[in-house]
Amino acid sequence: MNTNIAMKIENLEKSFGVVDSKITVIKDANFSLNKGEFVALVAPSGAGKTTLLMMLGCVLEPTSGKITIGEKIVYDDKLLVKDDRALRRKKIGFIFQNHYLIPFLNIEENITLLPYQNNESPNVVKPRVKEIMDYLNMSDKMKSMPSELSGGQNQRIAIARALANNPDIILADEPTAALDKQRAISVIKMLKQITREKNVTIIMVTHDDRLLPYCDKVLSIKDKKIDIKENKK
Ligand SMILES: Nc1ncnc2c1ncn2[C@@H]1O[C@H](COP(=O)(O)OP(=O)(O)OP(=O)(O)O)[C@@H](O)[C@H]1O
Ligand SMILES: [Mg+2]
């Protein structure tokens, strides 16, 4: 087995609805991504980007096919592996278009919510969160409330939160959509640096072609099929 593979997708299909009202969004998807890769996912609105991301994140059940994360099969033709929710909380981080920080919790509380939910000890979580906040240059904001930070700063906190449970994979659905060009590029550079330094695989949905040169691979959805292109180094 190739231990450098972060995720392998085989014959994946997703349809919604039944019989007459059935629509197939993703058909016969086959690809694999390596550890530490920075991957863009592009396609027109309604093509199935969020649907694909939610299946990869074990949030949405596929119709058929197989998903392997690391060395673990999480979905195999209608057999959803039972502890997939635990795996999702531990191995996968999410970043959304809007940061979705909880407004009445401070930054530190927002970031530590998931690790504590995973029953990790404060002795382990606190130093990890401090390291992440130092890394993102946000350590002076630990006690701030989300409303006291700018949109770009909150998006960096959302990245910190996605990193807080030490994930192998981060799924990001248009993480820069709410940011201006300069801040979008600074967030992208940060995400790329994370893939390199922490060996995390990041799959990022984007509508912004200017961000594609920063990525290692570009996944696109054409006529329900997934196409994968490698960017030249
Ligand atoms: N729960 C659902 N039930 C029925 N149809 C759905 C459901 N979720 C998504 N769809 C359909 O699947 C298709 C793909 O939706 P999806 O949200 O994945 O698109 P997207 O590429 O993320 O679009 P956008 O760029 O606008 O976010 C759409 O036609 C949508 O209507
Ligand atoms: Mg979407």
CA of 53 to the centre of ligand 2 (A): 9
Phi, psi angles (nearest 5°) of residue 142: -50, -40
- CB atoms near residue 96 (< 10 Å): 17
Cβ 202 under 6 angstroms from ligand 1: no
d(CA 212, CA 208): 7
What pLDDT does residue 226 have? 95
| Protein residues within 5 Å, CB atom, of ion ligand 2 | 50
What pLDDT does residue 79 have? 66
- 118 burial (CB, 10 Å; 0-12 / 13-18 / 19+) is middle
Asked if 107 and 156 count as a contact pair (C-beta separation under 8 A), the reply is no
State the Cα angle at 54 between 84 and 7, rounded to 5°: 65
Asked if 9 and 30 count as a contact pair (C-beta separation under 8 A), the reply is yes
CA of 54 to the centre of ligand 1 (A): 11
Q: Residues of the chain whose pLDDT is less than 50?
A: none
d(CA 86, CA 177): 29
Cβ 47 under 6 angstroms from ligand 1: yes
* Helix or strand (DSSP H, E) at 183: helix 181-198
What pLDDT does residue 190 have? 87
Q: Which atom of ligand 1 is nearest to the CA of 53?
A: 18
Strand partners, 202: 38, 170
Question: What residue ranges define each of the domains in the chain, with the CATH number in brackets?
Answer: 34-61+84-230 (3.40.50.300)
pLDDT digits (tens, 9 = 90+) for 45-85: 999 999 999 999 988 889 999 999 998 888 888 666 656 66
Q: In what order do the strands lie in the sheet with 72-76?
A: 23-34, 5-16, 64-69, 72-76, 79-80
Q: Determine if the pTM surpasses 0.85.
A: yes
What pLDDT does residue 10 have? 97
Cβ 25 under 6 angstroms from ligand 1: yes
What pLDDT does residue 165 have? 85
Find all residues with CB under 8 Å of 56, minimum gap 6, and list them: 7, 9, 67, 169, 171, 203
What pLDDT does residue 136 have? 83
